[in-house]
Structure 1
Amino acid sequence: MIEFLYRSILIGIGATAVFDLWGLFLKHAFGLPGANWGPVGRWFCHLVSGTVYHEDIAKARPFAHEKAVGSIGHYAVGILFAAILLALAPSGWSRQPTLMPALIVGLVTVGAGWFLLQPGMGAGIAASKRPNANQIRALNVAGHIVFGLGLYVSALLVR
């Protein structure tokens, strides 16, 4: 169990860091806005009181240290997704990682954003309430493929 937790933490942190580096690349190479974990932190803080869905997270009651909470939550979710990968992957995957299980988990995890986080923050299912919904969706898919690659590379480094 300790080894499972150890691997989940290291692989999840590594994959999430790769995801964040991808975001920085997009920001500097294409001028796309960087990640703002403040609204996500606000959403996480409201989860504690049982509020999942908001009309507009920007209008919800603010909390101290939202950006920090959002960043920590972002990495905690990455660790959770790594744990799910390790639990569902074929036996021995963590010692001999292969790309496909990591990519599948990376792609499946886009659903958490589309069907929980984005609606919860008021953006609608798969950002349907945003004027640039298709761009957001494409970036979500690309980012989660990168996350899947990060799971694979991190697993290679941890093995």
Structure 2
Amino acid sequence: MAEILWMLTVGVVATIAMDLWSFLQKRFLGIGSLDYALVGRWLLHMPSGKFAHDNIFTAPACSREREVGWLAHYAIGVLFAALLLLVAGPVWARDPSLPAAIATGIATVAAPFFVLQPAFGMGIAASKTPRPMAARLRSLAVHGVFGLGLYAGALLAKDLL
């Protein structure tokens, strides 16, 4: 039970850090981020056998896609925290270090590069977008912030649990 609470705490804190970063970028720099309704749309099309889209923006909208997308966003954050616990082990959870958290955060960029972006019709690592390098750098930055959030969440969990 303690491991589940740890994963929930760390994953949610890390995902909140990611969302805060995205909010601040949009607010102060005018840089938009992923609309999680699109994640929900993608997931909700899967039961009908549609796993990849030519363009997720033009795919038919689904009822409750925004809610499903946000729920998936946080569930994935918790799963990535579980991955960190699995790889780094309970010793790391008791004495978290920043490098392991940042490395995990950066490693999680594989998910959008090789799963989400291709499935959305954007190509591997956003290769089919108008500015692929900018998209890649934004993904790396937000996943780096996720790594910082993993570390902050691990420190919080260490003190709370």
> For 2:23 and 2:85, how far apart are their aligned partners in 1?
27
Matched, 1:6 2:36: no
Match of 1:51? 50
Runs of 4 or more consecutive aligned structure 1 residues displaced over 3 Å after TM superposition: none
Amino acid at match of 1:85: L
Match of 2:98? 99
Match of 1:139? 138
Match of 1:75? 74
Residues 94-126 of structure 1, C-alpha deviations (whole Å, 9 max, x = no match): 111111111111011001000000000111101
Cα deviation, residue 34, structure 1: 4.2
Residues 56-112 of structure 1, C-alpha deviations (whole Å, 9 max, x = no match): 112223210111111111000000000000011044111111111111110110010
Match of 1:32? 31
User: Hey, which of these two has a bigger chunk of helix by percent?
Assistant: 2
Query: Structure 1 residues 109 and 96 mapped into 2: Cα distance closer, same or farther (>3 Å)?
Result: same
> For 1:48 and 1:96, how far apart are their aligned partners in 2?
42
Amino acid at match of 1:14: V
103-112 vs 91-100, which moves further: 91-100
- SS in structure 1 of the partner of residue 112 of structure 2: helix
> For 2:48 and 2:88, how far apart are their aligned partners in 1?
34
Count of aligned positions: 158
**Identity over aligned pairs, percent:** 42
Which runs of no fewer than 5 residues in structure 1 stay unpaired? none
Query: TM-score under structure 1 normalisation?
Result: 0.94
The residue correspondences of 1:99-138 to structure 2 (distance < 5 A) are: 99-138=98-137
